[in-house]
Structure formats: C-alpha cells, structure tokens
A and B are shown apart, each in its own frame.
Chain A
Amino acid sequence: MNIPFSQFTLENGLRVILHEDHRLPMVAVNLWYHVGSKNEHPGRTGFAHLFEHLMFEGSQHYDKGFFHPLQEAGASLNGSTNPDRTNYWEVVPTNALELALWMESDRMGYLLPALTVQKFENQRDVVLNERRQNYENRPYGLAMMAIAAALFPPNHPYHWLTIGETADLKAATFEDVRAFFQTYYHPANASLVVAGDIVPSDALERVRRYFGDIPPGPVPATLEVSASTDAEVRLMMEDRVEFPRLYLSWHSPAIFKDGDAEMDLLSDLIANGKVSRLYRTLVYERRIATEVMAFQNSRELGGFWQIVATAAPGHTLTELDQAIDHELSKLLDEGPTADEVERGRVQAEAQFVYRLQTLGGFGGKSDQLNAYSVFLNDPGYFERDLARYERVSAAALHGVAKRHLRRDRRVALSVVPKGKQELALTDSTPASVA
C-alpha cells in the first residue's frame, strides 16, 4: 500500500510531485508554502492567516476574485493556515486542470499588483469576524490560547495561535503584505502536487509552462527552537459555559519524529471511543465526566499531547483530575495490553486506507504527499508512515508514555463557569487571554 509518484524540481526551486489515479475524471492541485504562524513575530500575530485570505482576492491577470472562474469550472477549492504551513488546493474536472494551474501560478507570481488597501482592510474585518465566530463566541473557545501561551515561552512561535491576537490583527499594515509575500511566497519555498487523472509527462510540461518563469527568492532559514516544562503549571479561566472542563497538556515529539506515532496511538487507547480507558472509567462506570478526548498535536518544531474532560453535573475537576491521574499511573506502571496494541494497529491500517480514497482537499492524497514533501523532503514516506504504526509494540508505547507524561511536567487548565473560580483545580492562577 502506497501512493506512487514522480518528483521533479524546477530550476526556480519549485518542488513538483505527480501522482496518477484515473478512477474518476478529476485532478487535485495542492500547493503548500512552507510558512505559517510560526514565522510571525510577537506584536504581528495572525498575519500568515490574514495573508492567506488575500490570496483569494485576485491577482494581476485575473483581478475579479479567485473563486469565480474555478467554481464555474466545477472546482471545489480552499486554503488553510496552521503554525507550520499554508496550503491551497483545487479539485477540478480533468478538463479544467489548465485553469487551476493558471490561477495558482498567477497568484504565486503576480499577486501584489492586484492588491489594494481596500481588499486588505475588508479581509482583516472578515478575519476578525472569523475569530469572533470560531473562538470568542464559542464555549471553551479561548482555552487553547491560554494553553499555548503556557506551554511555549513568549519567544517561541507556538506561543500564539494561528488566528492571532485581535490587537495584532488591527495593527497589521498594508506595507507588511509586500515583505511577507516576497519572503515566503515564491517557488523555492513551495511544493506542488498534481494528482489524479493526468499523464505525468504532460502535467509536468504544463506545470513548467505556468510556474517555470516565476523567480525564486531565498529559502527561509529553518527555525531552531525548543520548549520544555520543568514544573506543573496550573491555570484557570472563566467562560460562558455550564460545566467545568479540564485540559491537561504535555510537550510531546514533533511530527514524524521518534515517539510521535506512539503518542498518537496512546491518545486513542486512553480516551478515544467507548472502549478507551478514560471513557470507560470516567463516563461509563463512574459517570463523573460527560466526555473525554485525547490528541497528539504533531507539529514541526515540537508537539503537544492533550487530554480534555468535561465534568458531569455535580462533579468537580479535582475528581476528574484524580481519576485521570489514576488511569495514567496505571498505564505508566503496567503499559498497554496486547489487545490495545492490536486495536491501535488495525485502526491505523484502516485510517491509512480510508485516506487513500480521497484525491484532493484537506487530508486527501495530494495533501498527504505535500506533508511528506515539506516536512520530510520525502514524498514517498507513506509506507514508512504506516510502518511507524504497524511495528509499534507494547514496550515502545509504554516507554514513550513514561518519557512524556509526567505529572510534574504538565500544564493543567481549568475552564469554569463565570463566577465559579472555586471549581478550578486548587492553586490555579488566572490565565489572561485577549
């Protein structure tokens, strides 16, 4: 099981990855720029994402918005920004590949002449509304801001979330746009996947034609930062919620690094699904929580691993904390069972195969190839990626859990209903988020 591909690098440094799949008459175009909120600076957070919005506002040779011709051609399209990268994609009928390449290359090569202060200010308003909708007006919506700020020191680029601070978004200037574009949006800092109903030699020729004459810039230096926690941090925040929720977070391995897959598997066996350890004890047996989840957040400069649990009516976060701690201690003492390891293996296999069904969009094959290309410089990593999960042993899971999940290295955030600070874990300090 793999994703067969061929790979080329144009003279201007653009990485091009081609994957053939003729099951349906459609093609996925997927373009990653190796820039995200990690490339921002304090005082100007949120800019990478705001910039992504501007990429949809038209470019020199077609200045009537990016969506119009593509939607009319039957495309679905979108983009997203995270701390590590910004991606853009179109899924088009085979006969509209040329159009997608025209549009993507025009905004890579000729964005700035079409940008205006008016577009910039309009999209800043849109982003401020995105922030209100998805963070400020959502229960527990600001929790991740407090957690990121506590896990990572102020000079670490994961200290802030990709959406950014409101004040920083308001402080962003139109002049910042040019420098950002020139630094990060050029072929040598990008990776392009064309996947689907293509003949690779023909697709490569077209890509060369559209992107080949866009001048490269210098490749941005790789960031070298690390973060660790040497004592437990306890925080609390009030929110417009009915039930208190506990967020426990630990530093964990970076994406694709040793221990990353193990932490991912640990999150499933600990808290995902009714058969997981925490669901069984907290929700099913003791009924002190209404929901519990765990995640490995795999990122380029370092990951973090999280357990999130919401208290059932009449129960406290202290009860939840003790019950979670008890289950974690048991796991750290005894390691996982053979049944848990086998379940993780087969679930990973199923997830990897399901993913192969989708050509484009977020998480489709083309996006996956670009993740391997940008983070590992190895688009052919699929089989080894799966192997990371298939070869995992109880001993390896146990070792990784013991290394990372120490109680004295965690950030514990209590989110409590307004005016109910007493429901937080004891000795919690109020977190300040904007």
Chain B
Amino acid sequence: MSAVDRSRLPLVGPTPPFHFSAIHKDRLKNQLAVWTAEHRGLPVLNMMLVLPSGSAADFEGYEGLAAITADMLDEGSGDRSAIDINAAFARIGSHLDIDVSSDATVLSVSCLARFGREALSLMADCVVRPRLSEADFERIRQLRLTRLVQIRDMASAVADRAFMQLVYGAHPYGHMALGTEEALRQMTIDDVRRFHERIYTPSAATLVASGEISALELQQMAADAFGSWRASAASPLADPAMAPPPAEPAHHLALVNKPGAAQAEIRIGEVGLTRSTPDYHALIVLNMVLGGQFVSRINMKLRQEKGLTYGARTSFDFRRGRGPFILQTSVQSDGTADAVEEALREIDAIRTDRPPAQEEVEAAKAALTRGYTRNFETVEQVARALAQLVLYALPDNYFDTFATRVSAVELDEVRDVASRHLNPGKMATAIVADAATVGPQLTRAGLGEPVPLLPRL
C-alpha cells in the first residue's frame, strides 16, 4: 500500500466528450410533432406533451387561467370521473404530472416500459377529451382559492410574488401561474373551455419521449393515442413572451409586513435576458461566479463569512421573453439591512472594482462542463432536455456542443456581460419580514424608506 501524498490534491483528468442520444423527429397527420431519444438500460419510460403556452398566455384579468385549465385535464374524461382517471393511472403505477410555467405547459408521465401504451392513451384522454364540467371546475377553483389564502403565510412564496409584481407589473410575466383571487372568482368553465380549445392543439404541441422505446414504437403509440386529436379552429395567439419589456420599477425597495416573522425573505433583481441572447453562455459563467453555486461570491459572503443565512443564490431565469435576474436569500431579521447592502455591493463589485478573475472564470467553466453528464441520467432528465430544445428552438446537437460553447467563453466576455447586463442601480428589492424590526434598519442604513407592498394574491 503506497502512502497517499497529502501535500497536494490529485489532478483531475480531461473530460470525455458528451453525446446526447440521437433524436428522432416525426409528425402525425394532425401535425403533432413526436420526438424520441432512446435511453435504454432500465424498463422505464417518460413521455411529455409540451405546449408552448403557459401562464404568460393568461388573458388580462384572467390570471390563473392557463394553470386551472391544465389542472382540469385529469379531473374527468369522457364518462370517467377524476377518481376513475386517477385510478387508471394508479393501476399502472403512474400518474399525470402537470407543470405550468410562464412559457409552457408540460404534461408528463413516467411509467414502467410495459405500460407505455396505456399511459399515453390515458394522457391523450386527459388532453384531447377532458370533461371540463362545471361541477369539477367549481371544486378545483375552490381548492385554488384556498391555496391562494394559504400562500399568504408562506414567506418565500409571498416574496416571489412581491418581486415579480414589483419588477414586471402588468407584463405577462408579472403574475404567478396560480393567478389571483379576483381573476379566479370571475372565471367560468366557458373560459376554461375556450382556453383549452385555443391552446391545446396538435399543431402547436410536441410529444417527447425517452427511455426503453424506439422512435417507431412511439410513433405508432402516438398515432393510436393522439391521432384523433383535431386542430383548433381558433387562430393562434401572438406569443405573450414577446410583449415589450416593462419599464423600470416605480419603487426600488418594497416591504411586505409579516408581524412576528422569524426571518426576512429577500429578493433582489431586475428584468434579465431571453434564452436566445447571444450572451447566454457568458452569463451562466458569470452567474456561477456571482451566486450560482455554493462557492460563489454571494453565498460565501452572506453565509460563510457573515453567518446571516442558510444560503444565498442568484439566477438568470432565461425565458422566451426576458425573464428575471434574481438574488434570493432568507436572513435573520436583525441582519436584513446588512444582507441587502452586502448583496448589492457584490453585484456592483463584479461589474466594477472586483471583476471576475481568470481563476474564478476557469473554475466556473469547469464546474459547468465537467459534471455535465449527470444532467442526463434518468429518462425524465432526458425528456426534459428534449422539451428545452422544443421550447427554445435550440439545435439538435445543442447538448453535445454545450461544453465547447462554455469552454470558449473568455474572461473579457464575462466581464463585459457583467457590466452590460447587471444594473444594481436599477434593481428592485422585495422583502417579506416583520416591518417594525426591518423597516428602521433599512432606512438607517441609507437604503431608503421601504414602500409597503401587498402582493396581489
């Protein structure tokens, strides 16, 4: 047994190139796109129906319509009740996952491969032939209204809403998928039916699948399950993500009062960039340095140096339209002003007096590229990757080229995107905390008088 050299860390060898599974693309006669990426080894399967419309497509005054429509899909189909549908999924050890984000609605099933045909047929029943009955709608609406009330006590959810409202206002990204009480109350089942008719149409949708399945098998299964799906007669909507970006927020510091709160939930940020920005790869490298991983500047400062929080991070939420750049953390109440000041100082410093150093950038690029493979372990991860290609019109070889693209980012580019795309002077801060404790601190620290905010819920 040779002794270990503990005087230096072992070197890490070169990273082998990553190859995403081959992607097969087909189309049914009704124009439904069908994409397959085989991922064999275990008898499992994931299938996702991807629709490029989400909560940003809610009509004004109808915030929450996309999400409640999606929620209604497995609440009954044909002569089967919600219970019958869910029992049918349960009998094959599966269920329908429904995810509504700002840009998309994604319906997903994971199942044992031998149940693939059945799972897809159940998904099609939900999507193509949902019952959308008045009684089910009333029940689901009531659950969602109750959820909205419950959220008032959840500091992190309130902070997310307050921040998006502050930064985006009436822009389609300014509200959350769950919507608002006012909008939910005035909605009717007819609104849901119209929205379903308009959005759930085969020519706009893509079925993606990964796992123990061939393209031919999926194509046949999809034709059987979705072949009868007829195109919507309604004209397609303009992409709401392309709405003009909102103006700079009217207020830069807002406080939601939670008397007696044990901590302060903080969100700081601004309108960021689209997924299609040519600066995408430089920005994700920048974010790794700033707040995108444990060893990033913001986390090291607020958690490891000052002990103010369990964690702090930043992210660029790249969407079809300009999604937010957000710093988020939850800190001890008496350290709120300190945390906000330090966070803004770090954001400012990375674009002025302490730009990213060569070694920070190299470390960030290595972190992003070396472990990239682990994002493609499960059939669900592979299917989600396909969904990204669909939603953001990325090339088929995107995942194979990711490491090369990131590695090619140069120090100057990272510094350049930091100075062009981070605007601490224009950023808005939303805080959910005990106002009596936190308000005076903020003012004393010279951060200004916080504007009281009641998020629309």
Contacts and interface: CB of A to CB of B under 8 A. Distances in A.
A72 B1 contact: no
Given A24-B374, A95-B14, A139-B153, A209 B4 contact: yes
B448 interface: no
B10 A132 contact: no
Contacts of A25: 16, 373
A312 to B, nearest CB: 6
A294 interface: no
B294 to A, nearest CB: 5
Nearest to A211: B4
B12 A95 contact: yes
A354 B378 CA distance: 8
Contacts of B87: 275, 339, 343
B301 to A, nearest CB: 12
A278 to B, nearest CB: 13
Interface centre among A26, A134, A274 (most CB of B within 10 A): A274
Nearest to B88: A275
A144 to B, nearest CB: 16
Interface in B153-197: 153-155
B259 to A, nearest CB: 9
A164 B258 CA distance: 25
A44 B10 CA distance: 38
Given A74-B369, A137-B330, A241-B153, A353 B44 contact: yes
Interface stretch (B61-69, B89-97, B275-283): B89-97
A253 B42 CA distance: 32
Contacts of A65: 295, 304
A284 interface: yes
19 contacts: A24-B374, A24-B376, A68-B295, A68-B363, A71-B293, A72-B366, A73-B366, A76-B374, A91-B371, A92-B371, A95-B15, A102-B9, A130-B310, A132-B263, A137-B263, A290-B147, A310-B150, A357-B377, A359-B377
B212 to A, nearest CB: 11
A287 interface: yes
Interface residues of A, number: 83
A346 B152 contact: no
A310 B332 CA distance: 29
A151 to B, nearest CB: 25
A2 interface: no
B43 interface: yes
A354 B44 contact: yes
A93 interface: yes
Contacts of B308: 125, 129
A314 to B, nearest CB: 10
B111 interface: yes
A74 B366 contact: yes
Contacts of B42: 353, 356-357
Interface string A123-147: 1111111101110111100000000
A25 B303 CA distance: 33
Given A126-B309, A130-B310, A99 B93 contact: no
B423 to A, nearest CB: 28
Contact of B370 (A93, A274, A358): A93
Across the A-B interface, give the 7 residue pairs with the lowest CB-CB distance, nearest first. A74-B370, A125-B307, A74-B371, A350-B93, A95-B13, A136-B262, A130-B310
A72 B370 CA distance: 8
Contacts of A67: 293-295
Contact of B12 (A73, A128, A133): A73
A102 B372 CA distance: 22
A209 B363 CA distance: 28
A312 B377 CA distance: 40
Contacts of A360: 374
A408 interface: no
A126 B16 CA distance: 38
A26 B373 contact: yes
Given A67-B294, A71-B367, A243-B149, A346 B378 contact: no
Contacts of A310: 150
Contacts of B420: none
B261 interface: yes
Nearest to A62: B9
A287 B87 CA distance: 19
B146 A313 contact: yes
B153 A287 contact: no
A210 B4 contact: yes
Interface string A78-102: 0000000000000111111011001
A161 to B, nearest CB: 16
Contacts of B326: none
B235 interface: no
Interface in A100-115: 102-103, 105-106, 110
Interface string A252-277: 00000000000000000000011100
